[in-house]
Structure formats: C-alpha cells, structure tokens
Amino acid sequence: MSNQKKPVLRRCVGCGEMKDKKDLIRVVRTQEGEILPDKTGRVNGRGAYVCKDPECFMNAVRKKGLERSLKCRVDAQVYEGLRSYFEGESS
Ligand SMILES: [Zn+2]
C-alpha cells in the first residue's frame, strides 16, 4: 500500500524500453500532417515517444520506429529538424 503516484510509462520507439513519460519526448503527427516535437504534451494527433537522447532518436530513425508509430513516411529534412531538437534537449 502506498500513496505514491505511479509514473506514466510509455515505450520508446528507439530502444523499446518502457520509460517515465517525463524522460521521453513525444513526437506528434498533427492532423495537418506535420511532424514535430510536442513541447507541451498537448498537441493533437498520433504520437510516438523517444528518450531525450539523440542516440535513441537515431535508433528510432534507423529502425523506422517513428514511421511505424506515426504510420507515415518521414522526410529526411523532418528527421533533421527533430534531431536538432533532441540534441538541444539532451544537452
Ligand atoms: Zn530510448
């Protein structure tokens, strides 16, 4: 018995591990078809979670985990933009 709040767990599409949602970045595909990092956690659309780690992000790119989760093709320039976001978040 404990009153501790359980962390909300989500699976990272890079390493496949379950992580606390606050240690992950949600990448979202909006209804307009844009793919962007969800900085607020409130963007509507289909989301995928990746650790705040560029390594994990690159893994997700290589394994096409993002494309699988978002159910769409991701352009190289979109990946590039996301990667700089991950690099900024992890430093
Ligand atoms: Zn990960």
Structural domain contains residue 3? no
Cα separation of 25 and 81, whole Å?
A: 14
Q: How far is the CA of 1 from the centre of ligand 1 (A)?
A: 30
Residue 90 has pLDDT above 90, yes or no: no
Whichever domain contains 79, its CATH number is 3.30.1230.10
Residue 1 has pLDDT above 90, yes or no: no
What's the whole-model pTM score?
Answer: 0.89
pLDDT of residue 50: 97
What residues sit around ligand 1, an ion, with C-beta below 5 angstroms? 12, 14-15, 51, 56
Structural domain contains residue 4? no
Question: Which run of H or E residues covers position 8?
Answer: none
Q: What φ, ψ does residue 64 adopt, rounded to 5°?
A: 60, 30
Structural domain contains residue 2? no
Q: Structural domain tally of the chain?
A: 1
Residues 6+ apart with CB under 8 A from 80: none
